[in-house]
Amino acid sequence: MQTNAIPNAPAVLVLGANGRLGAAAVQAFAAAGWRVLAQARRTPAALPSGATHMALDVADTAALAAAAAGARVVVHGLNPLYTRWAAEALPLMRHGLALAQRLDASFMLPGNVYNFGASMPTRLDEHTPQRPTTRKGRIRVQMEDELRAAAQRGQRCVVIRAGDFFGSGTGSWMDLVIAKSLHQGKLVYPGPLDRPHAWAYLPDLARAFVAVASRARSGR
């Protein structure tokens, strides 16, 4: 276990610290002065000062909660492979939520736009009806419904919704498709050019998580 803890700093548990969002969250929270507990099976390549690697499995809720005692925020950066998403996404979120409940911590989930389906309007807000048209969209709605139910029971839950992720490593539409052939002078866009599309640069999204977590700590 690698430790660079900052004494008396607020603590955050980042689940899936080797994923693209998880890695960005580790960096953003550490840069903001938080004590970061970075959960991942493998030691992250570059832990910043103030971060501690935790190799415990997320399914071992009791052990991980004991090791992360004092964490006031849980960031759910776990995202299974798309081929296993239908089977694993919801159980993984339930493990993360159970950890937050054991820790009496806020639970933060990165949301997306799958919930709204193919007929979604150009502009989304909190009143836009969720009408998923794909299996992944229906699972996303179920995930958020479970968080809503937990919040009604007193659990602090936050969903920060964003468009397609890019940055913080590889594996997105941006680098796999759009920018793949830029060195050959070719840009490939996987859809109509005249339709708006939302993108989320992961370092910026991670800083949004920090800002929301900090507001929650201060009671604002």
Query: What is the arithmetic mean of pLDDT over 62-73?
Result: 96
Contact call for residues 63 and 96 (beta carbons, < 8 A) = no
Tokens of 193: 């050019």
At 62, the amino acid letter reads: A
Check whether 104 has a pLDDT greater than 70: yes
Tokens of 141: 């709605």
* Beta partners for residue 36, in sequence order: 12, 51
Write b or e for each residue in 198-213: b if 16 or more Cβ atoms lie within 10 A of its Cβ, otherwise e: eebbbeebbbebbeeb
* Confidence band, pLDDT 50/70/90 cuts, at residue 4: very low
Domain architecture of the chain: domains with CATH: 11-162+202-218 (3.40.50.720)
**What is the four-CA torsion angle of 88, 157, 159, 120, rounded to 10 degrees?**
90
The phi, psi pair for 149, rounded to 5°, reads -65, -40
Which pTM was predicted? 0.89
Averaged pLDDT score across all residues of the chain: 88
